[in-house]
Structure 1
Amino acid sequence: MFVKLYPENPNEKEIHKIVDVLRNGGIVIYPTDTIYGIGCDINNAKAVEKVARIKDINLKKANLSFICYDLSHISDFTKPLNNHVFKLMKKHLPGPYTFILPANSNVPKLFKNNKKTIGIRVPDNNIIRELVKELGNPILSTSVRDEDDVIEYTTDPELIYEKFADLVDVVIDGGYGDNEPSTIIDCTSDELEVVRYGKGEIEL
C-alpha cells in the first residue's frame, strides 16, 4: 500500500487504516523530520524480528530506537530523568534528535541490549506522531538506507516504494525526506555525550 499524506494535516481515515496495519503486525515506512524510517509496533515481537531481517541487523546487538508522541510518553519507558536531561529534551523536542536513556521494565525485552538502554525520538513530523498517538504505543525507528555508496539515505518515497513494496505493508509518501540523520545524545551517565552529529544542533 502506497499512501500519500500531508504533514500539516494528515488524513484521519488513512491514519486509522495504517494503525490497523500496525496493530496486525504490519511493517510501515514513514517520514520523520530527518530521513525516512522503517518500523512497527514495539510490542509486536514478530514484527520487530521482521524489521530486523529486512535491515539485516542482530536484535541482541543493535541499538534500537523508538518514536514516542511527546515527553510524557517517554517517561513511561525510561528510568526517572535528572533535571538537566529533562530540560534538554523539553527544549529540543519535537526535533531531529535521538536521546539514549536508561530503559525501564516497560521496554520490551527485544529492545534491551546488554547496556539496558533505549534510543528515544520525538520527530517534528505530524504524520508519524499521529500514528504513534492513535496506536497508543511507540513505533520502532530504524532508518531506510540506500545501497549507493554516495547517497546514504533514499529521500524519494516513490523510489522507496519500488524497493520495499514486497517487504513492507505500507509506504507513506510524506514528501521528500532529508538525507541527514538525527543527532544522537547519550544521556546514560552524568557526562552527556553527543554520539553522532546530525541534523539537530545542540549545546550540552
Structure 2
Amino acid sequence: MSEVINTEVHNAFEVIKNGGIILYPTDTVWGIGCDATNPEAIKKIFAIKQREETKSMIVLTNGERMMYNVFNEIPEVAWQILDLSEKPTTLILDNPRNVAENVIAEDKTLGVRMVKEPFCYKLMERMKKPLVSTSANISGEPTPKSFKEISPEIIKGVDYVVNLHHDKICDKPSTIIKLTNDSQVKIIRK
C-alpha cells in the first residue's frame, strides 16, 4: 500500500509544483487542492468551484513546524483543542502569513487543519508547504460523501485525480472552531 501512496504523492507533487490543481482524499471528505502559497492556482480553484473569491478556503498542515510557519502566534488553547479532539478539527486562527493573500479571509483569519492521513502528510512533507483544501463540489451544492458523488465538472476541471480511496465513504467534514489571539472561542460547525 505504501508504494501506491508514494506513487500518488509523486504524481500529485509534480502537478502542484507546476501550479496545478489536484482532486484528493483528505482525512474527512474529498478535496480540491493546490499549493497554498500560489495565488494563481488558488484562483483556478475558485473558478472550478464557481465560488466567490471573498469566501475563504482552509489549508492543511502536517505538523507543528508547518503550523508555526503559517501562524506566528497560536493560542495555547488551540493545542489543547487539538489534543482533546476525537475527530478532525479545523481551527480558524488570526493573522496567517507565508500563504497567498487570496486564501486568507477578509477578517485576516485562516482555517487550518493538521492532518496525519498518510497521503496528505507525505505530500506536504514533499511540498514543504501547506495544501489548500476545499470540498470537491460546485459552490452551493452538497459536499460529496464519496468519489462517486463528485460531479464530472469538478473531475474535468482539475489537473490530476489522486488514485486512492475511491471506494471510501466519508460521513462528515471536520469540526470548525474559531479562536482569536485574545482567547475567544466560537464553534462554527460541530
1:87 and 2:77 matched: no
Aligned structure 1 segments of 4 or more residues deviating by more than 4 angstroms: 146-149
**Greater displacement, 156-165 / 110-119:** 156-165
In 1, distance between residues paired with 2:59 and 2:27?
14
Q: How does 1:109-120 map to 2 (within 5 A)?
A: 109-120=101-112
Supply the distance in 2 between the matched residues of 1:55 and 1:11 (Cα, whole angstroms). Answer: 26
- Structure 2 CA distance for partners of 1:25 and 1:148, relative to 1, 3 Å: closer
Q: 1:192 to 1:126 in 2, by over 3 A?
A: same
With the length of structure 1 as denominator, give the TM-score of the two structures.
0.80
CA contact (8 A) 1:71 1:90 kept: no
Larger relative helix fraction: 2
Q: Give distance in 1, aligned partners of 2:149 and 2:75.
A: 42
1:15 lines up with 2:12 in the alignment: no
Cα pair 1:34 1:177 within 8 Å, conserved: no
Q: Residues 9 and 123 from structure 1, CA distance in 2 versus in 1: closer, same or farther, beyond 3 angstroms?
A: farther
Scaled by the length of structure 2, the TM-score of the pair is 0.86
Which residue is equivalent to 1:3?
A: none
Change in Cα spacing, 1:53 to 1:196, as seen in structure 2 (3 Å) is same
Give the corresponding residue for 2:186: 193
Gaps of 5+ in 1: 1-5, 198-204
Could you tell me whether the CA contact under 8 Å between 2:137 and 2:144 is conserved in 1?
yes
Q: Matched residues in 1 for 2:13 and 2:44: separation?
A: 17
Deviation sequence 1:85-135 (CA, Å, 0-9, x none): 222224439x51110001233232112222110000123421112111111
**Within the alignment, does 1:167 sit opposite 2:184 as a pair?**
no
State whether residues 32 and 177 of structure 1, in contact with CA within 8 Å, keep that contact through their aligned partners in structure 2: no
Q: Does the residue aligned with 2:134 lie in a helix, a strand or coil?
A: strand
1:119-167 deviations in Å (ceiling 9; x for gaps): 0012342111211111111111111137997xx3223325537443321
2-side partners of 1:70 and 1:103: how far apart? 18
RMSD: 2.5
Q: Does 1:76 align with 2:89?
A: no
Correspondence 1:1-204 to 2 at 5 A? 10-59=4-53, 61-92=54-85, 95-145=87-137, 152-160=142-150, 162-175=152-165, 176-188=168-180, 189-197=182-190
Percent of pairs identical after alignment?
A: 26
